[in-house]
Structure 1
Amino acid sequence: MSFNKKITTKEFYNIELINVAEWYSQSRQTDRNKFNSLPFQVQLALRTNIKEIGKTYESFMEMKRDLLQSLGDKYVADGKTEEVEENGQKNVNVKEEFREEYQNELAECDKKLQEVLRDKTQVTITTFDMDSMYETLPDDCGLNMDDIEMLSFMDKVDDEEDENTTEGE
């Protein structure tokens, strides 16, 4: 059965892409067979789309790690940290006299990350007429309303034909 499949370039806020990638990862960890009730062509498209979205997710997470690591390294290099033993484990903490400064710089890092999350990214994905696809699912398919909402990123573009869109079966 065809669900009006299209390859299209859609624009998403980065926060949307991050949320979809995390939802998919958590869903697969909880139930590896969760998406088996979807038609095979939709399963393949979902996996392919997630790989495409994963590029933005991985880039964002790497950027976040680098930013926070750089901030931490700065405080260690400047001697603004101390090693503290808590519950038998050694931790590196910012010294009391530098905590406010550190918190301010951490807030600036968070501000930069939030700006990136509000930016948009274009992603080429396979889309479907998801309403038609949902009608074919059995009642006990294992998908809940949150899953259905998250899958909506794959819903076809309702606009007029876009030059970045290719139809297929």
Structure 2
Amino acid sequence: MSPFTKTLLGLVCACLVVFGIYSKGYQDAYLKASHEKAQELLALNTKQEEERAATQKALNEVSKNWQAYSAESKAMSQRTIDKLRDDGISLSVQLADATVCNVTGSCRPVPNGRAELHQDTSRFFVEQAQRADEQVKALQQIVRRLQGEK
């Protein structure tokens, strides 16, 4: 083999060794960066899972309170109606003169144009109003919790 070929072959081998060392360093840096990124993602996922669990716990509490309210809503509305009746307050609706005539059987003008509601209808309206109030309160609790308030 000629000296030029030996030198050229040595130069090629040296270049391959340098390229191998460079590739190993690049691979090590890439693995280190990938590992650090995976650790960041794991920490972020853990934090998000903790926040989700706390939010879910609060939402479960709101749901539990809503279910308790729903179970006792009929009794609560009946107590409200009983209290109104004990206080001498009756629930009534304003009627047109023709309707007053049909409902009361008296076709004369009614001074206030009102007719008292049936007890079942009163209970229904009171129950729906109380239910709507409780729904608004529960939704406000959920919004506060989702916005991060306690």
TM-score, scaled relative to structure 1: 0.30
> Max radius of gyration: which structure?
2
Task: Indicate the structure with greater strand content.
Answer: 1
Task: Indicate the structure with greater helix content.
Answer: 2
TM-score, scaled relative to structure 2: 0.33
Q: Which has the higher contact order (CA 8 A, sep 6+)?
A: 1
